[in-house]
Structure formats: structure tokens, C-alpha cells
Amino acid sequence: MAAGDSHSGIRIPTRVGTRVSGAALIDTWTSHPWTDGIRVDRLLAHDRITVRTRHSVYEVVVLTPTTADVLVRGGAFFTDWTPARVAGSSLGGSFLKLHAIYVGFRMEIIDGRRSIVTSTVQTVSLVRGAGRSTVQ
């Protein structure tokens, strides 16, 4: 039976003209320069990150860089400092840049009970644990 045909009164929908974002294609994803962000797993313990998304501001303190374990506060879900893990950055789909936060992508945070996907990241800034500041 072809798509769009019906059999026994059941109509199978036809997908004509379905569009997929270019960024959602594996070739586009793997060729992305990955320069406008921060890899949490390459930071130091006690480094502080401020992430401004389209709708919120998040403060993040790195606890264990190799596993991207952090304390996070901000947005609607983290009103108090909460232990969590930065899962990574995505476009809200199936590709995830592990343990990283990139401008133009959504930050994904897991706090043990739930997975939070933020609105699009606008800016990311880093303050080193010793007080040296870097803005990205």
C-alpha cells in the first residue's frame, strides 16, 4: 500500500515537502567549527560560567570538570543552587555536543530527576576560579 492510500478506512498520512533544518544533518553538525562556546569538561573546578539564553540567565559553578558536574542556579527550574550535570548543547533534536555550551544552541542540564532543555543560548561568559575573566 502506498503512502496516502487508505485501507479498511485507515488513512496513512503522506509527508510531502517535509523540511529539515540544515543544522540537523550529520554532515553539517560534524563540520561545524565549534568555536563560540565552552567545553565544561575542559575547565577547572570552581570556574564560573554565566549563560544568557533567550529567556533566562543561568549561573553555573563547575564541580567536577571531567563529568561536567556543576551547581546551577537560574531560569524557571533552578531557583536555588542545584547539583546537576551539563549534558551538552543541542538544537533540541537527537544530536548532542557533550558537556559543552555553545551560542546558538540549547543547553541541556540533568539534575537527577529531570532533563531541562533551555531556550537558545545568546552569550556564554567564563570567570576562572582564581578570578581571571574570559568572555566568549
Total number of domains in the chain: 1
**C-alpha cell read off for 6:** 487508505
19 within some domain: no
Instruction: Map residue 85 onto helix, strand or coil.
Output: strand
Q: Please check whether residue 52 lies inside any domain of the structure.
A: yes
Helix (H/G/I), strand (E/B), else coil: 5 = coil
67 contacts: CB under 8 Å, gap ≥ 6: 41, 85, 99
Question: Is 135 a member of any domain?
Answer: no
Beta strand 37-39 with 100-102: parallel, antiparallel or unpaired?
A: antiparallel
- The percentage of residues in the chain with a pLDDT greater than 90, rounded to a whole number, is 59
Examine residue 109 and state whether it is found in any structural domain, yes or no: yes
Please give the pLDDT value at position 94: 75
Domain interval for residue 73: 36-130
From 31, 33, 36, 40, select the one nearest 72 (Cα to Cα).
Answer: 40
Please state the pTM of the whole predicted model.
0.75
* 121 domain residue, yes or no: yes
Residue 37: all three cell numbers together: 562556546
Query: In this structure, is residue 16 part of a structural domain?
Result: no
95: confidence class by pLDDT, cuts 50, 70, 90:
confident
The answer as to whether 48 is a domain residue is yes
Q: Is residue 41 part of a domain?
A: yes
Mean pLDDT of 19-30: 62
On whether the CB atoms of residues 37 and 136 are closer than 8 A, the answer is: yes
